[in-house]
Amino acid sequence: MPTIHNRTATALLVIDVQVGVVGAAYQREAVIANIQTLLTAARAAGTPVVWVQHSDDQLAINSPEWQYVPELVRLESEPLVHKLYGDSFEATDLEQVLAAAKVGHLVVVGAQTDACVRSTIHGAFTRGYDVTLVSDAHTTEDMSEWGAPPPDVIIKHTNMYWGFQSAPGRTAKVVTTAEVQFSA
């Protein structure tokens, strides 16, 4: 149970799967297919889906790069949170959106693993949410020429360490797309 009181619902949080973010992402097609599988399952179970969309100098609002990838379609009824920082909670209305839906558990997917995904899972956990990271539904691009590890190593490392996070009254889990079960 999360440490946020009276918040027992789960939401699927889709972070920054935008054209300019995942254009050259590691295993792009497989990750997007897994996110689509989770979207279908969440919608069928009546689980809230919340979309997060980043903007900055490289992702100018309304530019082609800023748009969500065409393979994933947000329903009008699904909230869209606009952000300027890595942590999807920072200077956004995400907390209010989740509170309105009584969400205390987040199932997290998206991009980039080593930036906005990582910032958001930590931000959610420290704010009292239970956080499940879907191991095969997040990705990043190859930034090894600037000294970063290769993307597969970043993803594996994030999956490994997230499963060992702990805090009083909260859970951190890592599961595959096939293991995610949204209940009606």
Dist. CA 2–CA 72, nearest whole Å: 29
Range of the domain at 24: 9-179
| Number of domains the chain is built from | 1
Round to whole Å and give the CA distance between 27 and 135: 12
Read off the amino acid at residue 110.
G
* SS3 of residue 28 by DSSP: helix
Residue 48 belongs to domain with CATH number: 3.40.50.850
In a domain, 50, yes or no: yes
Residue 1 lies in a domain: no
**CA–CA separation, 133 and 39 (whole Å):** 15
Say if 96 falls within a structural domain. yes
pTM value is 0.97
Tens digit of each residue's pLDDT (9 = 90 or more) over 141-182? 999 999 999 999 999 999 999 999 999 999 999 999 999 999
**Residue 94 maps to a domain:** yes
What number of other Cβ atoms are within 10 A of residue 113's Cβ?
Answer: 25
Residue 111 in domain: yes
pLDDT at 184 over 90: no
Nearest to 127 by CA among 169, 69, 65, 75: 169
Spatial CB neighbours of 88, under 8 Å, sequence gap ≥ 6 = 13, 15, 52, 81, 94, 116, 119, 120, 123, 124
Quick: pLDDT tens for 114-135: 999 999 999 999 999 999 999 9
pLDDT bin (cut points 50, 70, 90) of residue 2 is low
